[in-house]
Amino acid sequence: MVATYETKTDYKVIGNSPIRHDALDKVTGRAIYGGDVKVPGLIWGDVIRSPHAHARIKSIDTSAAEAIEGVFAVLTHDDFPQADDKTIETGEGTVNLRRGQSNVMADKKVHYKGHVVAAVAAVDRNTAQIAAQAIKVEYEILPAISDVDAAMADGAEVILEGLVGDHLGEKVENTNVARVFRHEFGNVEDAFANSDLVIERTVTMSMIHQGYIEPHNATAIWAQDDNLTVWSSTQGSFGVRSQVAGLLHHPESKVKVNYVEIGGGFGGKTVVYLAPIAALLSRKSGGRPVKLVMDRSSVFEATGPAPGGKIRMKIGVNKDGKIQAADTDLMLEAGGFPGSAVGAAAICVFACYNLPVSRITGYDVLVNKPKSAAYRAPGSPQASFAIETVIDEICDELGFDKIQFRLDNAAHEGTRRGDGVQFIRVGLEECLVAAKESDHWNSPLGDAPAGKARGRGIASAYWMNGGGKSTCDLMLQDDGTVMLNEGSADIGGTRTSIAMQAAEVLGIPVEDFHPSIPDTDSIGFTGVTGGSRTTYTTGLAAYNAAHKLVVELKSRLADLWETSADKIDFNEGTFTANGDSIGIQELAGKLGPTGGPATSTSSVNLAEAGNAYGVHICDLEVDLATGKTDVIRYTAVQDVGKAVHPQYAEGQIQGGVVQGLGWALNEEYFITDEGAMANRSFLDYRMPTSLDMPMIDTIMVEVPNPLHPYGVRGIGEVPICPPLSAATQAVKEAVGKPFYSLPVKPGRILEALNGD
């Protein structure tokens, strides 16, 4: 059941950009992140990781580590209780508990270089590091599988023993393909036969990393009564609670996760790595608090990458500019355990186009690389790169205007998405029109300096956004301010964007709100900050809680005014009845006789979220001698529904664009023949710096989301998607050669320029 709203259009609070509530703590160094947690008696943990990408563990000798003075505990997989063989939600994915436990600490086999094999707890960080390195592990090295072709080859070494693949409903043993699924509408072969032009291309891309600046960390206390307290950098405390409980076969009610600030996640901090280890080390250390902080090379080698892989894309089109059919095979790398973002990729891949006939086949493929995790619109950037590459070639081949062609084939209300879902009101056409009318699109590219060439690319993309469960509590205090508790980790200003929605209802300045994020014992269930769900979903909980608070206040006021609550009106912060009127903040001070401060709470569970589209234009310059690229102008057009806090909405778009440009032009897991990541530092894994980027222009289109009273849409994810193709097509235009592999790095550009 989906509620729809007549969207409000005149706002007092929404649409302004107040200074966020937590900003002062974050510019003064006072904000407490996971690594900053101090607990009396704290000791440190560390782990030892596999140096091999694929190997059987023959033996683990921990005696030398145990003999080191200051070591309190040593941990191997044998210390883990058996987890249930069941699958739970992590917020932006799922985890089978038994396999999840094997990912946290290897059981008999290591599936990727950097896979944790054992852990220690010791008096300080230095001693823990030395003791971890003293653990001796013997391995039987197995062939490392580094890409989907090798994984799917006949006779390939099987990575996950016991895996039974589901291949279009058929159970298959001895396979590295965990799942094959299909969405099919109409007969693509017939439609291709009737098309004037059919283009088929295969694109490939490397794994890449979310690149959050704060490494993973966890602190845990396993108390003598088996109550477990955890601090961990995470996008969702409840996700940590359920995963830690499940992985340790411990009652969820005995796990409390305290909120700490999070230094970036982008999907990668929805999975737990260190918290279960910290918990078991604490138990083995007699209840001492244990902290672990991951080193950067391990963050690269053992956490979070977005899947690389291979996508075959075939599109048929007629000379009148109408797409007849599209067919794709999406083969994405899950990493060492099943569960890539291929399901979401399949949802997104055709979502910009109104396709009469389509077929999508998805493959979830194991390789000897870290278990992939969500990364900002998981699966959609790869899918967008594939389809937009072919769309661009169709436009070049048949001479279509690249925006008009997209408009002629654009998805709109009623269009069937590639997986069968019909769209409600969406804003792709409005974004394309805004791009077409933009100053950027109508400005010349300009002449390149000598030795350089310029090109312009355009691309569109889609993300379905997230709903799910969120909770918000309000209390109107005597001084007219509002205490607001909500459960969403605040990674980019959501305390404020949530509070603004309650402030709009109550007619109270948002500066008079005190938003906070309590521990999991102190707020109702709330899903992760991910999937572009937080301002939409938790914001709706705040909106509902504010309306409930108005109902409560009317009832209180009815006592004071000796009237009935239904005779009292409330409008823009003022209650009126029978000629009396009182402002809500003034009323707050008079509630004493009626029972003190008024409170309300709301939990929501939203099945749908309302979709997001972006259309990006990228101008870049290529140095023809070195292949180096410089983005010289960039415009991101996006349907934001309603920008609650325009400054931070724009910031989400700009940040997504720059991550997408890094993905397009620089970033990759460079894997050696032995299956090791060669570039496991920020020096060699080259994320964009301030010097690499221009200012990022945005055009925020507001097509209200019918599922939200203020028209809010999730905005954070979709902006990472279009840059992959927009930048690539810009390079194509500059040098006159197409590119089918990411990243489009200087070496690849030079190869293309030099003939092959």
What b/e string do you get for 628-639 counting C-beta neighbours within 10 Å, with b at 16 or more? ebbbbbbbbbbb
**Residue carrying structure tokens 């005190």:** 514
Residues for the chain: how many in total? 756
Contact 50, 111 (CB under 8 A): no
CB of 459 to other proteins, least distance (A): 17
Minimum distance from residue 546 beta carbon to other proteins (Å):
24
Task: Give 400 or 685: the residue with its C-beta nearer to other proteins.
Answer: 685
Contact 359, 184 (CB under 8 A): yes
Give 30 or 412: the residue with its C-beta nearer to other proteins: 30
Question: Among candidates 176, 172, 48, which has minimal Cα distance to 110?
Answer: 48
Q: Between 44 and 463, name the residue whose CB sits nearer to other proteins.
A: 44
- Continuous H helices in 515-645: 539-561, 584-588
Judged by beta carbon, residue 638 or residue 659, the one nearer other proteins is: 659
Q: Output the smallest distance, CB 447 to other proteins, in A.
A: 21
Of the pair 148, 653, the CB lying nearest other proteins is at 653
Q: Give the nearest distance from C-beta 252 to other proteins in angstroms.
A: 27
3-class DSSP assignment, residue 665? helix
Residue 447 has a CB neighbour count (10 Å cut-off) of 8
Using DSSP, state whether 741 is helix, strand or coil.
strand
Residue ranges in contact with other proteins by CB under 8 A: 17, 19-20, 22-24, 26-33, 35-36, 38, 64, 67-70, 122-127, 130, 134, 210-215, 261-266, 293, 295-296, 491-493, 647-648, 651-652, 654-659, 681-683, 687-691, 693, 695-696
Q: Which of 387, 411, 459 is nearest to 740 (CA)?
A: 387
For residue 351, CA distances in Å to 39, 201, 531 come to: 49, 19, 16
First to last CA, the chain: 56
Q: Which is closer to other proteins, CB of 571 or CB of 690?
A: 690
Half-sphere exposure of 687 (CA within 13 A, CB side): 15
Residue closer to other proteins, measured from CB, 36 or 519? 36
Token digits of residue 196: 């004037």
Report in angstroms how near the CB of residue 86 gets to other proteins at its nearest. Answer: 33
Question: Least distance (Å) from other proteins to the CB of residue 527?
Answer: 19
CB nearer other proteins, residue 93 or residue 688:
688
Closest of 443, 445, 508, 519 to residue 482, by C-alpha: 508
174 Ramachandran zone, left/alpha/beta (phi>0; psi -120 to 50): left
Residue written as tokens 């050669």? 737
Amino acid letter for position 563: T
Inter-CA distances, 429 with 43, 303, 494, 638, 703, Å: 57, 38, 28, 11, 10
Q: How far is the CB of 157 from other proteins (least distance, A)?
A: 34
Give me the least distance between CB of 345 and other proteins, in Å please.
22
CB 355 within 8 A of CB 387: no
Q: Are 714 and 376 in contact (CB under 8 A)?
A: no
- Strand ranges inside 77-196, DSSP E: 87-89, 94-96, 109-110, 116-122, 136-141, 165-167, 170-172, 177-185
Residue 490 Cβ vs other proteins, minimum distance, rounded to whole Å:
9
Identify which of residues 332 and 631 has a Cβ nearer to other proteins in the complex: 631
Residue closer to other proteins, measured from CB, 67 or 141: 67
- Residue 267 backbone zone (phi > 0: left; psi -120 to 50: alpha; other: beta): left
Nearer to other proteins, 65 or 701 (CB): 65
In whole angstroms, the minimum distance from the beta carbon of 274 to other proteins comes to: 14
Cα–Cα distance, 124 to 235 (Å, whole number)? 28
Joined tokens for residue 612:
């997001």
Alpha-carbon distance of 160 to 584, in angstroms, equals 61
Helix and strand numbers, DSSP H then E, in the chain: 19, 31
- Quote the CA–CA distance of 114 and 122 in Å, as a whole number: 21
Q: Which is nearer to other proteins, 31 or 753 (CB)?
A: 31
Q: How many CB atoms lie within 10 A of CB 539?
A: 30
**From the CB of 680, what's the least distance to other proteins, in Å?**
10
Q: Which of 224, 690 has the CB closer to other proteins?
A: 690
User: Mind giving me the DSSP string for 635-653?
Assistant: EEEEE-SS-SSHHHHHHHH
Exposed/middle/buried for 226, CB within 10 Å: 0-12, 13-18, 19+? exposed
Q: Please, are residues 300 and 177 in contact by the beta-carbon 8 Å criterion?
A: no
Residue 134 or residue 191: which is nearer to other proteins going by CB? 134
- Closest approach of other proteins to the CB of residue 682, in Å: 4
* Beta carbon of residue 305, minimum distance to other proteins (angstroms, whole number): 14
Between 32 and 750, CB nearer to other proteins:
32
Nearest distance from C-beta of residue 514 to other proteins, angstroms: 17
Which amino acid makes up residue 722? P
Q: Tell me whether residue 578 or residue 689 sits nearer to other proteins (CB atom).
A: 689
* Min dist. Cβ of residue 211 to other proteins (A): 5
- State the minimum distance, in angstroms, from the CB of residue 22 to other proteins: 8
Query: Using H for helix, E for strand and C for coil, what is the string for 585-604?
Result: HHHHCCCHHHCCCEEEEEEE
